[in-house]
Structure 1
């Protein structure tokens, strides 16, 4: 049987990390939305996921409050800055929309793994009341990852078609 004190420590650290991770997600997605003129479905889905992410942050704050903790301002700020930098790193690329799509899919899968681990830590540490809120976040991340993966072919085809016709395909 696992040491529940250590399991709780892992859970609390993971919870703070998840909050910072979602702040990072916002800083990655928000700059992309305004740069997707030729990709309205992608823009619409990113806007919807931004809203989901804001709700996920509320859920994480609710769990943090319920265990007498708060988010880590330092982690939130640091990962938000990292996310903004990551989002800007593809702006100069001729295939920006493709690179962003690949990065979005990778980040969604990272979030999925983080929530699976966090749910496990919640269960092991006896914080099972947090599980439904964390599972709601996990379900949204899985749906977003599935959507991005399923739309990479269409995004790629649109990019090629626009580029081939002489249009600006980046945004």
Structure 2
């Protein structure tokens, strides 16, 4: 195992926290854009609204950790990630199966966030940032719960999409 200086670990940790902050802003952009269009999938809309609240809490926890390190989030990273989130969500609006594409992308995105939090927890443990660990673990649990919900509900969303499509309705959102 390579031994890193405390300064190097701190720098990596801060960069990871800033990246996670930007990632959560991207998630908000994606979810809010989807919520604007979800008409025929109220259970998905309800869960996304709940996860928007969780995501705002995750952003707050990341800011709390950064502040404890006398650091702040990166406005440029946040802006870029939010823009990319909006573009990704817009890209699916032209698809006839928008709800399915969004469901696949959301599931993948949640698992990406899970990996990011697991990595941050590992860095926090290695760097001795013990106060950050419970905050990161709380966010990890929320992301895992959201990914599990999406996994458990993909079949129902797909079934609803099929039913609406077969009936000749616009099933895309």
Normalised TM-score (structure 2): 0.97
Offset, 1:9 = 1.1
Structure 1 residue runs of 4 or more that deviate by more than 4 Å after TM superposition: none
- Residue deviations 1:122-160 (CA, integer Å, cap 9, x gap): 111111110000100000000000001111100000000
1:34 counterpart = 2:47: no
1:148 counterpart = 2:150: yes
Gaps of 5+ in 1: none
Q: How does 1:1-171 map to 2 (within 5 A)?
A: 1-171=3-173
Distance in structure 2 (CA, Å) of the matches to 1:3 and 1:146: 37
Count of residue correspondences: 171
Normalised TM-score (structure 1): 0.98
Larger CA deviation: 1-10 vs 95-104? 1-10
Distance in structure 2 (CA, Å) of the matches to 1:85 and 1:72: 20
Offset, 1:96 = 0.2
